[in-house]
Structure 1
Amino acid sequence: MTDESPVVVVAALLIGILVSGLSSTNADTDPNDASALRVMYAALNSPQQLTKWSGTAGDPCGESWKGITCSGSKVTEM
């Protein structure tokens, strides 16, 4: 074993963690967050400016609803 082997292992682990973290950003939206956004959208009479939004279905984080920012499955900004 050379001195570089631990560095390669650590680098591979860090890359794996980074990639798994990136894939979780496209997770389905928390059901409570999605439901609250749908209710709000319907209460606003379904404004056309809110592209990709739906009052009955859809995934705010997975479908990148206009004006919505997510971290994992949680809506973090509107």
Structure 2
Amino acid sequence: MPCQELVEVITDYLEGALSPQDRLRFEEHLALCSGCRNYVEQMRVTISLTGALKTDSIPDGVREQLLSAFRDWKRDLPT
């Protein structure tokens, strides 16, 4: 599985929605790619932290800054 494909299916992986075959391919890629292992860990931490935020505690404009940062990071991943 190439890095780009991993990025496209990470949400399904974290939600347990990948087929057994795709999950195996995902995990095999993680075993070989430290960049994607870091990405998965960052996503887990981000999901955990955002779940703890109250909606009114996010200042105006920060949501778009976060989304932009993730888009930029995703674009810069090795393929």
Query: Same fold judged by TM-score > 0.5?
Result: no
| Higher Rg | 1
Q: Which of the two has greater strand per residue?
A: 1
Greater RCO, CA 8 A, separation 6+: 2
TM-score, length-normalised on structure 1? 0.30
